Amino acid sequence: MQAIIFCGIQASGKSTYYKEHFFNSHMRISLDLLRTRNRERLFLEDCLRTKMRFVVDNTNPTIAERQNYISLAKAMRYEVIGYFFDSSVKEALLRNSQRSGRFLIPEKGIYGTQKRLQRPTMEEGYDQLYRVSLQADGGYLVQPLP
């Protein structure tokens, strides 16, 4: 059983990375889809109860926000893997400008998340932790975080 927790500002590549790497193997838990914390909680509880592999595809900028998922997954004996999407605000704003409709994030939202962002560490309870950087060619550089 595997729980994957994404962390990073909006437009840093999290959802695209999910689609390219976990779409066929892990359920996606995302406020973009579920729209309320109550629905998210119920879906997460179902994943844990049924021992389904999942990815939490939210910004999760603070230790406290990530701890909600990590502690529940650890209690159910999940392997917990973190992916930190390391992106500058400038890069995120450029990618965001290519979005439209409800997917377009107000700039102040990106700046606000950046201000609250706490870089994840192994001490939070991860079994593995990675840093993900988008490359100029559209690929990803994934490196272990100590």
Across 38-93, where does the E strand assignment appear? 54-56, 79-85
Going by their DSSP bridges, the two strands 54-56 and 2-7 should be labelled as parallel
- Average pLDDT (4-18) is 95
pLDDT single digits (tens) 53-93: 999 999 999 999 999 999 999 999 999 999 999 998 898 88
pLDDT (0 to 100) of residue 101:
78
CATH topology of domain 2-144: Rossmann fold (3.40.50)
130 against 98, higher pLDDT: 130
Residue ranges per structural domain of the chain: 2-144
Query: DSSP character for 31?
Result: H
Handedness of CA 8, 12, 14, 15 (dihedral sign): positive
